[in-house]
Homo-oligomer: A and B are copies of this chain.
Amino acid sequence: MEKIDLETMGRRAAEVKYELQCLPAKKKNEALLEAAEQLAADTKVILEENGKDLRRAEENGMHSGMTDRLRLTEARIAAMAEGLRQIAGLGDPVGEVMEKFERPNGLRIRKRRVPLGVIGIIYESRPNVTADAFGLCFKAGNAVILKGGSDALLSNMAVTASVRKALDRCKVNPDAIQLIASTDREAASRLMRLNQYVDVLIPRGGAGLIRSVVENSTVPVIETGTGNCHIYVDEYADLEKALPIILNAKTQRIGVCNACESLVIHEAVKERFLPELARALKEAKVEMRGDRQVRALVEDAKTATEEDYGTEYLDYVLSIKVAADIGEAIAHINKYNTKHSEAIITENKENAERFLNEVDAACVYVNASTRFTDGFEFGFGAEIGISTQKLHARGPMGLKELTSYKYTIEGDGQIRQ
C-alpha cells in the first residue's frame, strides 16, 4: 500500500465525498457485496498478515485477552464479509426527504438527508472494525479515514487493500476507504485536528482512548461506548423478574458496554431480595461490593467505595447501594452513570414513568435487561457504536445516524424585503 501523508489523505477523502454523496444505492450495494467476496477470497493473505501482527504482539508480551481481540480466523473473516452483505441489505438513508413545506412567499423548502461527508474512525486492536466501519460509513455515503491500533497495522492494511481492490473493480473510487498506515501516535493526533477535511470523528475503544480523543480533537467527536449501567429494584418490583434481569445484564457477556455494573435496591425490599440475590451472584462468580446496609445482609460483600460507584468494571464485579426512595435512587444514578443504559424493575406505573422521565441516559428501561441496547436488538441493523453524548445521536448509531441534512429552497426570483 502506498504511503501517503495525512494532508493528502484528507484532500482525497474530501474529493471522493462528492462522488459518494451522489452514488445510487444499487451501486453502493454492488460494491459492498463485491468487497465481501474479495475479503473471502483474500482470507489466506489476511490471515498471514494477521499472523505477523500476532507474533509481534506476543513478542512484546501482549496478554491473552488482547491477543484474542487481535486474532483473526477464517470464521471471523467470514463474519466480516457477512457483515458487509447485511449492510448491503439495509435501506439507503441518503436522499430521503425528511420534511417538505411551502412558505407564503412561494419558496418551496425541503429538508433532505445527506451524508456527513468524511468520517474519521480511531480504534483499537480489533481488525474487524476496519471492514465494519467502512461498510456503514460507505452505505451512508461517507468517505472514511481509519486509524487502527498499531498492534493490528498489518491486518488492517490487508483488509483495507482487499476492500479497495473490490471498489476499484466496481469503478468506485477506492479512496472511499483510506487507512493511516503508520504506527505513529502523532498521526492520530493530527487526524484529530484535520478540521479542513474531516467532518466528524468517532473513537471506538476503551474509556482512555475516548477521553484522549475528546480532549485533543478539534474535529467534532461522537463519544461512544462507556457504560456504567445501573438497575434499580424498586419497592414495587416483581422480584421474580428482578433476579433473572440482573443476572442477564451482569453476566450474559461481561465485557460489553451495556452490561450492568451497579445496582440500587429500595430499602423496603432489601431483606427479601438481597440474600437471594447474593446466592445467585455467588453461583455466577460475581463479587459484590456494597454499602453498610448491603454488607449487613450479605456476609461476604466487600465495601463499595465512591470510586466503585463510578467504575465500569467490565468484569465479574457489581457495586450495590440501598436507597430510601426512588428519588434517592434516581439522583444516585444521574450522579454516577455514563448516560448509556439504565433500568428500573417495578410494577408501579407512576414510578416507571418517573424513572423514564428523570433518568438522564440514552436508553432507559422498565422491566428489561440493559443488554438490549444494541442496533440489532432495536431493529436498526448494524451499528457503529452506542453514543453516550446528547449532540447529534444518542444510543445505537445505525446508518441514519451517519448522515446529516441540508435544506434546499426553490423559488422563482424571491428576494427578502
Contact = CB atoms under 8 A, between A and B. Distances in A.
B368 A414 contact: yes
Contacts of A407: 362-364, 378, 394-395
Nearest to A395: B407
B103 A357 contact: no
Contacts of A1: none
Contacts of A361: 406
Interface stretch (A44-52, A164-172, A241-249, A276-284): A241-249
Nearest to A415: B248
Interface in A226-281: 238, 241, 244-245, 247-249, 252
Contacts of A409: 363-366, 368, 372
A148 interface: no
B406 A116 contact: no
A416 interface: yes
B358 A413 contact: no
Contacts of A334: 18
Nearest to A417: B252
Interface string A203-247: 000000000001100101110000000000000001001001101
Given A222-B391, A391-B222, A394-B405, A414 B372 contact: yes
B245 A21 contact: no
A352 interface: yes
Contact of A391 (B220, B367, B408): B220
A55 B69 CA distance: 66
A368 B411 contact: yes
A22 interface: yes
Nearest to A355: B408
A389 interface: yes
Contact of A200 (B391, B394, B411): B391
Nearest to A14: B334
A59 B366 CA distance: 62
A5 interface: no
Contacts of A238: 413
A371 to B, nearest CB: 4
A360 interface: yes
A410 interface: yes
Contact of A116 (B362, B363, B390): B390
Contacts of A61: none
A392 B387 CA distance: 13
Nearest to A248: B415
Contacts of A221: 220
Given A21-B357, A221-B220, A416-B372, A410 B214 contact: no
A396 B407 CA distance: 10
A107 interface: yes
A411 B238 CA distance: 13
A117 interface: yes
Interface in A186-209: 195, 199-200
Interface of A: 18, 21-22, 101, 103, 107, 109, 116-117, 195, 199-200, 214-215, 218, 220-222, 238, 241, 244-245, 247-249, 252, 334, 352, 356-358, 360-369, 371-372, 377-379, 389-392, 394-395, 404-416
7 contacts: A21-B360, A116-B391, A215-B218, A241-B413, A244-B413, A366-B411, A395-B407
Task: Give 8 nearest A-B pairs by CB, closest first.
Answer: A368-B411, A248-B415, A390-B404, A371-B416, A241-B413, A392-B392, A368-B414, A220-B391
